[in-house]
């Protein structure tokens, strides 16, 4: 059997300017900054000085792995280890700086719930809008409409603008749409912590169902029990490097050891 996802040497470099606010985020520049930088650069070239090297970080460095069809792969790692960057690359939101990935199936990604939701539109309208944005065809949305509504438990409020929804209802509806995507590959970021305990159980049930459908799922979660329970395989990322790949339970145990060994040792490594 051939893999459905082949990732080879994926790397992503972010440039962080001196003024960058957030770590790992490139801030937009103003025209003035560009002009000033341009003038400075040309002066430097004139004087034969070294070129200005913007401060850069590698959010992801030389990551290669494969995923077999029907496999559920979890990605674990600390904050800033490159989990989200990897998901963003796989869902084509951002381009890798180098390396390549091949996907042998339609991809849908749930990096967030309720992308494109408009507060003034009704629940019904937002289902169509969000469904389309997530890559569903209109007939697909129509076919799954009742299922989505029932799953989100918002039947009575279908024609109410979502700005009047409670935050729980809003998130339930948003999650329900994503949960009914039917692509061969599903990419899911930490979004399972939605709603109350009852709904969370339902979400987990849904994910379980999806994984038993023979669909390929790549998911990020900080909930290690969840990863150990749901996933066949797990990737452990650390500072953008792929540190370990293997059966989910083993990788999770490994990661737990790293976590409990404390920060001091981490810094020394």
Partner 1 sequence: MALLEEIAETSGMPAYSLPEYPLVTICPSKKWVALNLRDLWAYREVLYFLIWRDIKVRYKQTLLGVAWAIIQPLFTMLVFWLFFGRLAGLPSDGIPYPLFAYAGLVPWTFVSNAVSSAGNSLIGNPSLITRVYFPRLIIPCAAVGAGLMDFAIILLFLLVPMATYGVAITWHLLLLPFLITLTTLLALGVGLWLAALNVQYRDIRYVLPFLIQLWMYSTPLIYPTSLVPAQWRWLFAFNPLAGLVEGYRAALFGRQWDWTALSISSSITVVLVVTAAYTFRRMEKTFADVV
- Given the rule CB under 8 A, which residues bind partner 1? 1-2, 4, 6, 14, 25-32, 34, 69-70, 88-107, 109, 111-112, 115-116, 118, 120-121, 125, 128-129, 132-135, 137-138, 213-214
> At closest approach, how far in Å is the CB of 111 from partner 1?
5
Listed in sequence order, the residues at least 6 apart from 54 whose beta carbon sits closer than 8 Å to its beta carbon are: 15, 16, 17
Closest CA to 236 of 226, 228, 246: 246
Contact 192, 199 (CB under 8 A): no
Q: Which residue has the tokens 């937002």?
A: 126
Contact 88, 112 (CB under 8 A): no
> At closest approach, how far in Å is the CB of 58 from partner 1?
14
> At closest approach, how far in Å is the CB of 38 from partner 1?
13
Q: Enumerate the β-bridge partners of residue 160.
A: none
Listed in sequence order, the residues at least 6 apart from 55 whose beta carbon sits closer than 8 Å to its beta carbon are: 15, 16, 17, 18, 20
The nearer residue to partner 1, 30 or 261, going by C-beta atoms, is 30
> At closest approach, how far in Å is the CB of 17 from partner 1?
11
The nearer residue to partner 1, 49 or 119, going by C-beta atoms, is 119
The nearer residue to partner 1, 130 or 252, going by C-beta atoms, is 130
The nearer residue to partner 1, 34 or 261, going by C-beta atoms, is 34
């Amino acid at each position: 059997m051939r893999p459905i996802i082949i990732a080879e040497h994926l790397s992503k470099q972010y440039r962080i300017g001196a003024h960058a606010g957030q770590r790992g985020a490139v801030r937009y520049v103003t025209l003035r900054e560009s002009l000033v930088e341009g003038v400075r650069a040309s002066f430097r070239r004139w004087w034969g000085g070294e070129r200005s090297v913007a401060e850069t970080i590698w959010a992801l460095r030389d990551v290669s792995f494969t995923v077999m069809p029907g496999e559920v792969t979890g990605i674990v790692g600390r904050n800033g280890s490159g989990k989200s960057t990897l998901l963003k690359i796989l869902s084509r939101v951002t381009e890798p700086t180098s390396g390549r990935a091949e996907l042998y199936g339609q991809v849908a990604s749930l990096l967030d719930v309720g992308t494109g939701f408009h507060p003034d539109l009704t629940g019904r309208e937002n289902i169509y809008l969000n469904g389309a944005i997530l890559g569903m065809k209109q007939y697909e949305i129509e076919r799954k409409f009742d299922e989505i509504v029932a799953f989100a438990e918002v039947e009575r409020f279908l024609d109410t603008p979502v700005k009047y929804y409670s935050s729980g209802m809003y998130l339930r509806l948003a999650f329900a749409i994503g949960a009914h995507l039917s692509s061969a590959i599903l990419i899911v970021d930490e979004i399972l912590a939605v709603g109350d305990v009852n709904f969370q159980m339902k979400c987990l049930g849904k994910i379980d169902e999806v994984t038993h459908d023979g669909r390929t799922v790549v998911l990020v979660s900080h909930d290690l029990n969840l990863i150990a329970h749901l996933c066949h395989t797990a990737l452990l990322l650390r500072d953008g490097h792929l540190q370990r790949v293997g059966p989910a339970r083993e990788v999770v145990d490994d990661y737990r050891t790293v976590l409990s060994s404390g920060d001091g040792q981490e810094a020394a490594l």
